[in-house]
Structure 1
Amino acid sequence: MKPKKNPQQDLNKKSATYFVFGLLMVLAMTYVALEWKTFDRSHYDSISMHKPDLDITEEPPIFQLEVPPPPKPPVLPVEIEIVDDTDPVEETDVIAIEVNTETEVVDVSEFEVIEEEEEVKVIWKTIEEVPVFPGCENDKDKRACFNKMMQKHIKKNFRYPELAQELNQQGRVSTQFMINRDGSIGAIQKRGPHEILEKEAVRILSKLPKMSPGKQRGKAVPVSFSIPITFKLQ
């Protein structure tokens, strides 16, 4: 039986060539595998595809700025005015008293000692016997009667200054005055929103009548009394 293999198609003739070619392919693949470099994929592409969250609100930062203090005003030199001194100089003669053995010693008992009574000022809340307003002599509660008569006096003598009305000035004037030992009205202190209103409050209180003085431990003493006067535009 004849062999069916073609002698011209013998693969063993080129086996060395195929071996060398395969070896080169393996070396090339090994080299490529060793030199292959990979990089991480950027995640910005995935973020850019997302929609922004509209619920997120950012608060602006708060900065505290320190304002420098204003510069101090320049100090001007004091002007010295030279004045001719033409006034006569009055000289005081000092008489020296020399003490010797013949000087008479004065007895202490011959001197009269005058005791000055210390002035005691009492406020309205602590006074034992309050000053009596004219017309409240027979009233049992003299404090309440005093306050009632004061309000009546202010309403009777109240007059809104025209200049204050033009300037649209209004507010409350706090006043305090002293009822002296003889029942007369002493110094009046005031504090209000405008000088015009303060003057009107002083004018009203200066028209107060003379009263019976307040007493502390049976003696007449000065008593301070405070009352506010309100000026209000209609």
Structure 2
Amino acid sequence: MRTLFLIAFLTVSSLSFAQEGVTVSGNAISITEIPPIWPGCIGNAAETKACFKKELVKHVVSNFRFPEGYKKGTVKEKVVVDFVINEEGKPQILGVKGGTKVLQEEAKRNILAIPQMTPGKAGGSPRAIKYTMPFTF
């Protein structure tokens, strides 16, 4: 009876401490990154990831303002913004390349206007997830 109780206790204990996104197979441990969740996106991991991409593009397009002196269709430049959604679910700029300083500042402003979201996870803990967003004018 004691042995049965011990086995049951160990089984329940190991299940209660399992981490989301961690898989153990033999000697290999695999940690799956779970992307951030945009506000209002629901569903499984694939659905929330697709929703994130769709909402990010919609945000960038609807919030972009051409700086003074620039008009849509007259600029042929590309700005690339590297950023993360940090452990708190907020955007944080890592770097900006290409284009003029004015276009870089507008691209940064646009990314920093991303709404607060549920942060990504790795191994069950909040984790900064990196993204690259190209802006082609």
Tell me the TM-score normalised to structure 1 length.
0.41
> 1:25: which partner in 2?
none
Which one of 213, 219, 232 corresponds to residue 119 of structure 2?
Answer: 213
> 1:196: which partner in 2?
102
Residue 174 (1) aligns with residue 112 (2): no
Deviations 1:167-202 (A, max 9, x none): x54311111111111111123421122111101101
Aligned to 1:226, the other structure's residue is in SS state strand
Q: Can you give the 5+ residue segments of structure 2 that lack an aligned partner in the other structure?
A: 1-30
> 2:34: which partner in 1?
129
Q: How does 1:36-55 map to 2 (within 5 A)?
A: none
Which one of 72, 93, 112 corresponds to residue 187 of structure 1?
Answer: 93
Larger radius of gyration: 1
CA contact (8 A) 2:93 2:108 kept: no
Which protein is richer in helix relative to its size?
2
Deviations 1:1-58 (A, max 9, x none): xxxxxxxxxxxxxxxxxxxxxxxxxxxxxxxxxxxxxxxxxxxxxxxxxxxxxxxxxx
Partner AA of 1:128 in structure 2: E
Deviations 1:145-172 (A, max 9, x none): 111000100111011112234xx54311
Higher RCO (CA 8 Å, separation ≥ 6 residues): 2
Give percent identity, aligned residues only: 34
Q: Can you give the 5+ residue segments of structure 1 that lack an aligned partner in the other structure?
A: 1-125
Aligned length: 104
| 1:135 positional shift | 1.6
Computed over aligned residues only, the root mean square deviation of the Cα atoms, in angstroms, reads 1.9
Aligned to 1:142, the other structure's residue is in SS state helix
Q: Cα distance 1:162–1:176, how it changes in 2: closer, same or farther (>3 A)?
A: same
Runs of 4+ in 1 over 6 A off after TM superposition: none
